[in-house]
């Protein structure tokens, strides 16, 4: 379903106020439904920056009522598109409530179409590795701090702080006679193209999906991985992959994965969830002022400062942050949702500890609690650890989320 907002609506993704002035390509809501033995699960993919828990709850409620899909069997994931509408309030931009309602209605319509279109299918799974699209964007400097979006043209740059997740994973469905139906593609990389301009776009995930559609896969969903510290800027060269380069390359990778698949008609579907209470981080006056060692504010500091009173009041009132971890399983493949901008190290840990099952992490899903960096990242600083509405969780939150995902997957062994 097309969910492109009209020109003139506000964008989010850059924290500052940007009014859209052009549509480069459509933004969409997509739904894939899998059914086996009377059990149904649904994946909802939105070309948006994030999704709020209240919006997830409303979508689930309507899909359960209209499509007979249990609420806990619905995963709602944003691609983390930085060139889309204000589905949440960030920085100087308020949430666009009328747009949110139309988006939810479009999701329900897409769900109805997906259920109506259910057919017998075979499922295949495969993955390949891609090292030339996503890069770790946190560069350690010679003074021991980190600069987010640093590069090695800087004489003070020392090394990349952490790894990448190069897996391009594809779960594909086809009819028993071999006709392609659709696929889920999972890869780990921020999509920030056109974020700072007035242009509306689905970014590289949109290019990926349109390329696969042109190659015969009519329904494709992109599910982003643990991309909190992964970006399409190459720090070795100081240049970024265009959305066309990134999306086309990932589409070719997905087709390679599909070409090597074995398809099976019997893939049981299951769902499990666990809700956590996560701690907020202790806050010092220096953290509030953005003056701690390694702090990195990308926009006018006054925008951060204006948001601090409301943020501090929310933390004092709530004390803990609820967060749902969900695992939807198709056969031996487990899709673990994380409602955060999750660091890649955690995603890799989940994959490793889930073995022999094949785990895939879906970030920006079923809510949004902001950046969740590793404990080590907090010691070096950088944008992702700088205290703000977008980064407020305690250092232990990431491991708590990973532990929950591994627990849920472990029950399926």
Contact 137, 235 (CB under 8 A): yes
3-state secondary structure string across the chain: CECCCCCCCEEECCCCCEECCEECCCCEEEEEEEEECCEEEEEEEECCCCCCHHHHHHHHHHHHHHHCCCHHHEEEEECCCCCEECCCCECCECCCHHHHHHHHHHHHHHHHHHHHCCCCCEEEEEEEECCCCCEECEEEECCCCEEECCCCCCCCEEEECCCCCCEEEEEEEECCCCCEEEEEEEECCCCCCCCCCCEECCHHHHHHHHHHHHCCCCEEEEEECCCCCEECEECCCCEECCHHHHHHHHHHHHHHHHHCCCEECCCCEEEEEEEEEEEECCCCHHHHHCCCCCECCCCCHHHHHHHHHHHHHHHHHHCEEEEEEEEEEECCEEEEEECCEECHHHHHHHHHHHCCCEEEEEECECCCCCEECCHHHHHHCEHHHCCECCECECCCHHHHHHHHHHHHHHCCC
Of 397 and 17, more confident: 397
Q: Looking at residues 312-323, what average pLDDT do you find?
A: 94
Task: Please list the residues that pair with 33 across neighbouring strands.
Answer: 42
Query: Does position 372 have pLDDT exceeding 70, yes or no?
Result: yes
Q: Looking at residues 107-130, what average pLDDT do you find?
A: 98
Q: Residue 118: what pLDDT?
A: 96
Query: Does position 97 have pLDDT exceeding 80, yes or no?
Result: yes
Q: Looking at residues 284-301, what average pLDDT do you find?
A: 88
Q: Looking at residues 2-17, what average pLDDT do you find?
A: 90
Q: Residue 17: what pLDDT?
A: 85
Q: Give the pLDDT confidence of 241-253 residue by residue, as tens digits.
A: 999 999 999 999 9
Query: Does position 321 have pLDDT exceeding 70, yes or no?
Result: yes
Query: Does position 15 have pLDDT exceeding 80, yes or no?
Result: no
Q: Per-residue confidence at 14, pLDDT binned at 50, 70, 90?
A: confident
Query: Does position 240 have pLDDT exceeding 90, yes or no?
Result: no
Q: Residue 92: what pLDDT?
A: 78
pTM of the model: 0.96
Q: Looking at residues 256-271, what average pLDDT do you find?
A: 95
Q: Looking at residues 360-365, what average pLDDT do you find?
A: 99
Query: Does position 409 have pLDDT exceeding 80, yes or no?
Result: yes
Q: Looking at residues 340-362, what average pLDDT do you find?
A: 98
Query: Does position 315 have pLDDT exceeding 80, yes or no?
Result: yes
Q: Per-residue confidence at 254, pLDDT binned at 50, 70, 90?
A: very high
Give the mean pLDDT of the chain.
95
Using a pLDDT cut of 90, give the percent of the chain over it.
88
Of 289 and 379, more confident: 379
Query: Does position 375 have pLDDT exceeding 80, yes or no?
Result: yes
Q: Looking at residues 271-280, what average pLDDT do you find?
A: 98
Query: Does position 334 have pLDDT exceeding 80, yes or no?
Result: yes
Residue 38, judged by CB atoms within 10 A of its CB (0-12, 13-18, 19+), counts as exposed
Q: Residue 238: what pLDDT?
A: 81
Query: Does position 412 have pLDDT exceeding 80, yes or no?
Result: no
Q: Residue 413: what pLDDT?
A: 67
Of 307 and 341, more confident: 341
């Amino acid at each position: 379903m097309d969910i492109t907002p009209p020109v003139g609506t506000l964008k989010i993704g850059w924290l500052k106020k940007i009014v859209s002035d052009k549509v480069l390509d459509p933004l969409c809501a997509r739904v894939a439904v899998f059914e086996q033995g009377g059990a149904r699960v649904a994946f909802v993919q939105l070309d948006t920056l994030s999704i709020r828990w209240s919006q997830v709850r409303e979508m689930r409620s309507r899909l359960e009522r209209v499509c007979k899909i249990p609420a806990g069997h619905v995963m709602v994931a944003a691609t983390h598109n930085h060139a889309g509408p204000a589905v949440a309030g960030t920085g100087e931009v308020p949430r666009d409530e009328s747009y949110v309602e139309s988006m939810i209605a479009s999701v329900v319509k897409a769900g109805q179409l997906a259920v109506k279109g259910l057919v017998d299918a075979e499922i295949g799974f495969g993955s390949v590795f891609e090292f030339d699209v996503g890069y770790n964007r946190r560069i350690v400097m010679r003074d021991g701090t980190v600069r987010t979006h640093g590069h090695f043209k800087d004489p003070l740059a020392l090394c990349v702080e952490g790894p990448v997740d190069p897996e391009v994973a594809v779960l594909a469905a086809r009819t028993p006679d071999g006709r392609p139906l659709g696929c889920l593609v999972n890869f780990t990389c921020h999509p920030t193209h056109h974020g700072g301009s007035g242009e509306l776009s689905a970014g590289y995930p949109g290019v990926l999906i349109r390329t696969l559609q042109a190659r015969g896969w009519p329904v494709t969903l992109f599910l982003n991985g643990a991309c909190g510290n992964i970006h399409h800027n190459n720090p070795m060269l100081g240049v970024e992959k265009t959305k066309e380069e990134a999306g086309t390359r990932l589409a070719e990778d997905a087709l390679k994965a599909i070409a090597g698949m074995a398809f099976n008609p019997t893939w049981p579907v299951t769902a499990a969830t666990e809700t956590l209470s996560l701690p907020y981080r202790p806050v010092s006056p220096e953290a509030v002022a953005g003056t701690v060692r390694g702090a990195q504010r990308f926009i006018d500091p006054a925008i951060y400062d204006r948001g601090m009173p409301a943020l501090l009041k929310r933390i004092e009132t709530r004390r803990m942050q609820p967060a749902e971890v969900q695992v939807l399983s198709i056969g031996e493949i487990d899709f673990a949702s994380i409602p955060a901008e999750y660091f890649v190290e955690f995603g890799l840990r989940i994959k490793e500890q889930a073995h022999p099952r094949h785990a895939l992490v879906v970030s920006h899903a079923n809510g949004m609690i902001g950046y969740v960096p590793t404990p080590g990242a907090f010691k070096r600083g950088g944008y992702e650890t700088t205290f703000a509405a977008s980064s407020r969780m305690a250092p232990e939150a990431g491991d708590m989320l990973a532990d929950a995902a591994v627990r849920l997957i472990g029950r399926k062994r």
